[in-house]
């Protein structure tokens, strides 16, 4: 009886040790970013920082320079990111609904050819910057802390809100309408 108990314990411990050696089936891509939970951070008007200059080359080979004083939505994404893929239809639909809001994307840590194919397949009509260094401009306000991250800029060109993780129609609409009412 004692021998059987020891054997059972030895087998259980061995199984535990062996199963903890695996990586759980995760891939390098999954380990190379932090996925957000959709948490929204909103900054009161008096505490907002000026948004960085957003200009440069885009995914479709054109140049874009955002200089307007209007609400802007800036989405940080990658084609290999599943939550990014899932939120693109929402962003595209909202960019059509809120035509007075400038939607933009910043492609991060991605293969340009894959990203371009992905954006064309989903008919992403707003400009997408291919310069990862644009993200550094947000470091003093609301930096991208996950992929995807969406930052909303107010009419005065200040960083007003951030969604860490995928956006929802109601969540992003609420932010846009809140800033429109200011």
Residue 146 near residue 34 (C-beta atoms within 8 A): yes
pLDDT at 4 over 70: no
Q: Is residue 133 part of a domain?
A: yes
Q: Is residue 9 part of a domain?
A: no
User: Can you give the C-alpha Rg of the chain in angstroms?
Assistant: 21
CA separation for the pair 170, 114 (Å, rounded):
29
Q: Is residue 68 part of a domain?
A: yes
Averaged pLDDT for residues 134-155: 90
pLDDT at 22 over 70: no
Averaged pLDDT for residues 109-124: 92
CA separation for the pair 121, 123 (Å, rounded):
6
Residue 144 lies in domain: 29-180
Residue 172 near residue 40 (C-beta atoms within 8 A): no
Total number of domains in the chain:
1
Q: Is residue 21 part of a domain?
A: no
CA separation for the pair 114, 181 (Å, rounded):
38
């Amino acid at each position: 009886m004692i021998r059987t108990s020891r054997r059972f314990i030895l087998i259980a411990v061995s199984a535990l040790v062996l199963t903890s050696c695996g990586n759980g089936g995760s891939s390098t891509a999954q380990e190379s970013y932090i996925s957000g939970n959709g948490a929204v951070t909103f900054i009161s008007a008096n505490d907002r920082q000026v948004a960085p200059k957003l200009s440069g080359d885009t995914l479709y080979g054109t140049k874009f320079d955002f200089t307007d004083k209007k609400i802007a939505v800036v989405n940080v994404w990658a084609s290999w990111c599943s939550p990014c893929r899932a939120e693109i239809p929402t962003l595209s639909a909202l960019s059509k609904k809120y035509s007075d809001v400038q939607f933009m994307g910043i492609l991060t840590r991605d293969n340009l050819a894959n990203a371009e194919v992905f954006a064309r397949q989903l008919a992403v009509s707003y400009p997408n910057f291919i310069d990862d260094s644009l993200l550094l401009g947000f470091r003093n306000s609301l930096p991208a802390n996950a992929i995807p991250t969406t930052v909303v800029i107010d009419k005065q060109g200040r960083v007003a809100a951030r969604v860490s993780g995928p956006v929802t129609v109601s969540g992003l609409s609420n932010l846009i309408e809140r800033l429109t009412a200011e």
